[in-house]
Structure 1
Amino acid sequence: MQDAIKLTCLTCGQANRFPFAKLEAGPKCAKCGVLLIGGDVTDLDDLQHDKATRADDLPLIVDYWAPWCGPCRTMAPEFAAAAKALRLSTRFAKIDTEQFPTISQRLQIRGIPLLILYAKGKEVARLSGARPAAGIESFVRQHL
């Protein structure tokens, strides 16, 4: 088991390192004081997205969505419920593909909603379409 864990603050982008044993205690960002692991879904910008998907020790699942997308809005509460259920093993975030189209282009996103699971700086798996919380949890567990 690893001694320390590295996480990017999904709010300010600061890299943080803390003892793995303190994971359940709710570590906070050294710069802005936000909880690094709280079971919430965090909105990302393009810079935070890139840092977190490439550098974090804890898996991250990102919901690629847009405000005009009905299935995206329908899935949002289910995604949040899955985030609460998996709060100590995986972080959850979302990024607006309308606001950050370069992310969509670079990742070759052709349809939304799309979930991409990242671990150890690499894309692990993709899941397209709106899913219930149980389906999202199952997808994460299956690939980690």
Structure 2
Amino acid sequence: MTQENLVVCTKCGVVNRLPPNRNSAEAQCGKCGARLFSGVPQDIDAANFDRQIGRGSLPVLVDVWAPWCGPCKMMAPAYEAAAKALEPHIRLVKLNSDKEQAVATRLGIRGIPTMILFHRQQEIARISGAMSTGQIVNWVRGHLPTGTS
């Protein structure tokens, strides 16, 4: 029996239950109506970050970036393309380290872009530096426990 997924809305932060027989790609938030998986990683604030990691059941890939960072800007299209390849099995979000300095400090961010992969409330992998779409997808799939992607 497949268990339902808990998916946190990137817009309003509400936890949504998705039954295994439901088409996750078309799912909408029960509170605000936003699509839960748009293929476009959303920038989230500290509260939404904590909810994504603490309440959602999907693996979460966080891209820590800043608006002034050249490599971050270069990687943005690749990260978006990776979201299209990995969703709805993995949540991809972005965290602006300038706006969310406390979270970046808590995560021990030393350089950007840095991607951190979380699963079951634990960090399972981290990498710094710009990557291509294929590199991102392969890196994520290579670090997930068997049966999660």
Q: Answer whether TM exceeds 0.5 for this pair.
A: yes
Q: Is the 8 A contact 1:39 1:91 kept in 2?
A: no
- Render the CA deviation track for 1:69-98: whole Å, top value 9, x for unaligned: 000000000100111111222121101000
**Residue in structure 1 matched with residue 123 of structure 2 by the alignment:** 123
The amino acid across from 2:33 in the alignment is G
Which residue of structure 2 lines up, in the alignment, with residue 114 of structure 1?
114
**Is 2:20 the partner of 1:16?**
no
Alignment of 1:84-99 (within 5 A): 84-99=84-99
Distance 1:37 1:25 in 2: 6
Task: Give the aligned partner of residue 60 of structure 1.
Answer: 60
Name the residue aligned to 2:102. Answer: 102
* Aligned: 1:43 with 2:43: yes
Distance across 2 between alignment mates of 1:126 and 1:6: 23
Correspondence for 2:147: none
Cα displacement (A) at 1:55: 1.5
CA drift of 1:58 comes to 1.2
CA 21–97 in structure 1, closer or farther in 2 if over 3 Å, else same: same
1:25 deviation in Å? 4.9
In the TM superposition, residue 106 of structure 1 has moved relative to its aligned partner by: 0.6
- Paired amino acid for 1:96: N
Deviation at 1:52, TM superposition (A): 0.2
| Paired residue secondary structure (2:103) | helix
Alpha-carbon RMSD across the aligned residues, in angstroms, is 1.2
Say whether residues 1:139 and 2:139 are aligned partners.
yes
Q: Check the 8 A contact 2:18/2:24 in 1, yes or no.
A: no
Q: Which moved more, 1:82-91 or 1:109-118?
A: 82-91
State how far apart, in whole Å, the 2-side matches of 1:111 and 1:24 are.
34
Moved over 3 A (4+): none
Please, which runs of 5 or more residues in structure 2 have no aligned partner?
Answer: 145-149
Other-structure match for 1:32: 32
Between 33-42 and 20-29, the greater mean CA deviation after superposition: 20-29
TM-score by length of 1: 0.95
In the aligned structure 2, how far is the partner of 1:23 from the partner of 1:55? 21
Task: Give structure 1 stretches of 5+ with no counterpart.
Answer: none
CA contact (8 A) 1:63 1:113 kept: yes
Is contact 2:71–2:129 with CA below 8 Å preserved after alignment? yes
CA contact (8 A) 2:29 2:36 kept: yes
1:82 and 1:33, CA in 2 relative to 1: closer, same or farther beyond 3 A?
same
